[in-house]
Chains A and B, each alone.
Chain A
Amino acid sequence: MSTEQKIKCVVWDLDNTLWDGVLSEGDDVRLRDGITDIMKTLDERGILMSIASKNNFDDAYKKLTELGVADYFLYPQINWNPKSEGIKKISEELNLGLDSFAFVDDSPFEREEILSANENILTIDAADIGKITDMECMIPKFITEDTRSRRLMYIADSKRKHDQQEFTGDNMEFLKSLGMKLTISPVTEHDLQRAYELTVRTHQLNSTGYTYSYDELKDFIGSNSHIFRIAQLTDKYGDYGKIGLILVENTDALRIKLLLMSCRVMSRGVGSAILIYLAKLAKSLDKPLFAEFRTTDRNRIMYITYKMMGFDELENNDGDVLLEYTSEEEKDYPGYLEVIEK
């Protein structure tokens, strides 16, 4: 088991960091040598990028567009506010914890100030830019299809969020308007790297936080005593990718060892739908359904999901909880989500 923290988002300063020169002083700024390759590499590794810069937004964004790099950056914070506020905003928009952020700036003052947002942000001096792609924390263990298209998925998500804010009806109507399809399929060898990636990247929507080695995960595929499923979500804006993982021990009873979902699908009803799927499965096999839960400081939302879906707590040893599904009513999938079982 390992919990090594990998960087999920790199936030760049602009003046004398991303480009040489100071835009507001009228310099004819040029991208720093080698920066394009670095950004391309990080993007291919699925590391997101954004900007925290003290500049006039319109001028700086126009320049980024001219330089052909504007599309790399999600939720750029270009304004005169403290950068610690900017990075918090980015973290909220991306729904990623600040302890998985890195911040690159030439100014020691700004590198210090950013830590007031979260002391675990990795700060990097612009002079050390050449070392970034070789840093251990910038190298994901696997690169999957989902990794490579991560930025595009976040862009689709930003479009969704924008439309949601403009939407005037209630949240249910909005969810219905998305036309979501959740496909739950057996994990195949092709999915293993993504499955591994999900177990190490997911903290909030993760019932136990158990991690397994690639080979252990591989063994679950053919195992008669395990049910191992991966879930994919799509909607009218596009594909969210493979966003959920379920590992259930299948003996005299079903026992959920792992239930996790990417934070990108929070509030889409996926957790409830998967629990309904497992309840149906247990019923069809005529077996009781248990779930292991390990309390962390971040996953209370999963505990509440289990409880509200009709699971009761049987045991609690210092935060290691055993739950049993005791709901008597037959549940159906929410009307806004089409569930496809493969």
Chain B
Amino acid sequence: MTTQERIMEFFKSKNITDIQTDTDLFKGGYVNSLFALEIVMFLEKEFKIKIKNKDITEKNFRTIDSMAAVIEKYL
């Protein structure tokens, strides 16, 4: 599975299926505090990494593609 596909699995587990890897998650209103925390925790667990505070940004989490790009820096 690609990084994108692995991240997509998280959204599927939340019954969110109508998004693409380049969907703007903030504009769609998908992201609230708890969801944001859950995404960060999911990524850290799934990819066995610790995301640095400086990488937790609006830009990096806007789409699944941008999240994948950040994750790949750690791998």
> Which residues of A come within 8 Å of B, CB atoms?
168-172, 205, 266-272, 300-305, 307-310, 312-313, 316, 327, 331, 334-336
Q: Verify A308–B36 contact, CB threshold 8 A.
A: yes
Knowing A170-B17, A308-B36, the reply to whether A303 touches B31 (Cβ < 8 A) is: no
Q: Verify A334–B29 contact, CB threshold 8 A.
A: yes
Q: Measured between C-beta atoms, what is the minimum distance from B36 to chain A in Å?
A: 5
Q: Verify B56–A268 contact, CB threshold 8 A.
A: no
Q: Measured between C-beta atoms, what is the minimum distance from A198 to chain B in Å?
A: 16
Q: Verify B35–A267 contact, CB threshold 8 A.
A: yes
Knowing A267-B33, A269-B29, A308-B36, the reply to whether A170 touches B14 (Cβ < 8 A) is: yes
Name the one of A272, A303, A316 contacting B32, with C-beta atoms under 8 angstroms. Answer: A272
Q: What's the Cα separation between A168 and B17 when bound, in Å?
A: 13
Knowing A170-B14, A170-B16, A267-B34, the reply to whether A308 touches B56 (Cβ < 8 A) is: yes
Q: Inter-chain contact count A-B, CB under 8 Å?
A: 70
Q: Verify B58–A309 contact, CB threshold 8 A.
A: yes
Knowing A309-B58, A313-B54, A334-B29, the reply to whether A304 touches B37 (Cβ < 8 A) is: yes
Complex: chain A residue closest to B30, CB-CB: A172
Q: What's the Cα separation between A172 and B34 when bound, in Å?
A: 13
Q: What's the Cα separation between A271 and B36 when bound, in Å?
A: 11
Q: Verify A266–B15 contact, CB threshold 8 A.
A: no
Query: Which secondary structure characterizes the binding site on chain B?
Result: loop
Name the one of B14, B28, B58 contacting A327, with C-beta atoms under 8 angstroms. Answer: B58
Knowing A170-B14, A170-B17, A171-B15, the reply to whether A304 touches B56 (Cβ < 8 A) is: yes
Residues on A with C-beta less than 8 A from B17 are 170
Number of interface residues of B (CB under 8 A): 23
> Which residues of B come within 8 Å of A, CB atoms?
14-18, 26, 28-37, 40, 53-54, 56-58, 61
Q: Verify B57–A308 contact, CB threshold 8 A.
A: yes
Complex: chain A residue closest to B35, CB-CB: A267
Q: What's the Cα separation between A190 and B15 when bound, in Å?
A: 42
Complex: chain B residue closest to A309, CB-CB: B58
Q: Verify B33–A205 contact, CB threshold 8 A.
A: yes
Q: Measured between C-beta atoms, what is the minimum distance from B63 to chain A in Å?
A: 13
Q: Verify B57–A307 contact, CB threshold 8 A.
A: yes
Residues on A with C-beta less than 8 A from B33 are 205, 266-267, 269, 271-272, 301-302, 304-305
Q: What's the Cα separation between A270 and B32 when bound, in Å?
A: 8
Q: Verify B29–A305 contact, CB threshold 8 A.
A: no
